[in-house]
């Protein structure tokens, strides 16, 4: 069975600082994709960043980057220069076959 | 290119009524997925459909829930005889290609409240 674990229910960061959100997953597949989605109070699911498991290079999207450790099955999200608009729930997800498997989320608060 | 559209955004039903949730995928996407998000939880997969076919319904409750994606028109998630436990946010996502290995793009969700 596929599982995705986010061990930090809540995190906070000072504006302009850097924060790292943790995610681990469990799969027997060798070919899969990993994602971070952001869910602001509007509850719209917004794609933040995507990583293909076969790529060793960590994905980067502007202020967002990941630390992908395939052997450890770890996929953390780093947010640099945090902004007030980054405040949201962040969900880690793994895609194998037809389904996405989501973690339970980390609520990020950005302190002005 | 319009995003994934869902309607209604909010739906209130009394116990025993039927709820019909609609999802129009992004233009060019023929793969639709439905997820349910209970309060304080992540999204849980329900069903994966392609046009006129249910591909994977392993996450769908066996009773009262059904889904379709007709040749013409939106995908429909139907919940019969709703109960309070059905209160949740229901998200639809679409992708352009086989097996969903592409990114899934999510709609804004439908919040169902069962009184």
A28: contact with B, CB 8 A cutoff: no
Q: The tokens 């099955």 sit on which residue?
A: A73
Which residues of chain B are within 8 Å of residue A97 when distances are taken between CB atoms?
99-100
Could you report the per-residue pLDDT of A42-69, keeping only the tens digit for each? Answer: 878 899 999 988 888 999 999 999 999 9
d(C-alpha B2, C-alpha A8), whole Å = 34
If DSSP codes are grouped into helix, strand and coil, which group holds residue A86?
A: helix
Contact status, residue A34 vs residue B80, Cβ threshold 8 Å: no
Contact B21, B6 (CB under 8 A): yes
Task: Tell whether the model's pLDDT for residue B102 goes beyond 70.
Answer: no
Residue B1 has pLDDT above 60, yes or no: no
Interchain CB distance below 8 Å, A45 and B91: yes
Name residues 38-97 of chain A within 8 A of B (Cβ): 42-47, 50, 91, 93, 95, 97
* pLDDT, tens only, A73-99: 999 999 999 999 999 999 999 987 767
Q: Do B45 and A99 touch (CB under 8 A)?
A: yes
**Peptide bond connecting A103 to the previous residue in cis, omega within 30 degrees of 0:** no
Q: Mark B21-56 as b/e (b = at least 16 C-beta within 10 Å).
A: bbbbbbeebebbbbbbbeeeebbbbbbbbeeeeebb
């Amino acid at each position: 069975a596929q599982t995705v674990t986010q061990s930090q229910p809540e995190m906070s960061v000072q504006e302009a600082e850097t924060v790292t959100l943790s995610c681990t997953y469990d799969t027997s597949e060798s070919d899969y994709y990993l994602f971070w989605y952001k869910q602001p109070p509007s509850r719209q699911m917004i794609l933040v960043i995507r990583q293909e498991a076969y790529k060793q290079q960590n994905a980067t999207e502007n202020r967002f980057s990941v630390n992908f450790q395939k052997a450890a099955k770890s996929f953390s999200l780093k947010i640099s220069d945090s902004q007030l608009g980054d405040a949201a729930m962040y969900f880690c997800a793994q895609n194998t076959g037809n389904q996405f498997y989501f973690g339970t989320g980390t609520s990020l608060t950005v302190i002005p | 290119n319009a995003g994934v559209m869902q309607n209604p955004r909010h739906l209130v039903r009394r116990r025993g009524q039927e709820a019909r949730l609609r999802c129009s995928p992004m233009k060019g996407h023929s793969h639709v997925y439905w997820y349910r998000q209970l309060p304080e939880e992540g999204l849980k997969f329900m069903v994966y459909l392609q046009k006129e076919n249910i591909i994977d319904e392993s996450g769908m409750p066996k009773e009262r829930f059904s889904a379709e994606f007709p040749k013409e028109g939106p995908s429909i998630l139907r919940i019969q005889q709703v109960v309070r436990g059905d209160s949740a946010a229901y998200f639809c996502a679409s992708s352009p290609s086989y097996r969903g290995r592409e990114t899934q793009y999510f709609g804004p969700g439908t919040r169902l409240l069962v009184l």
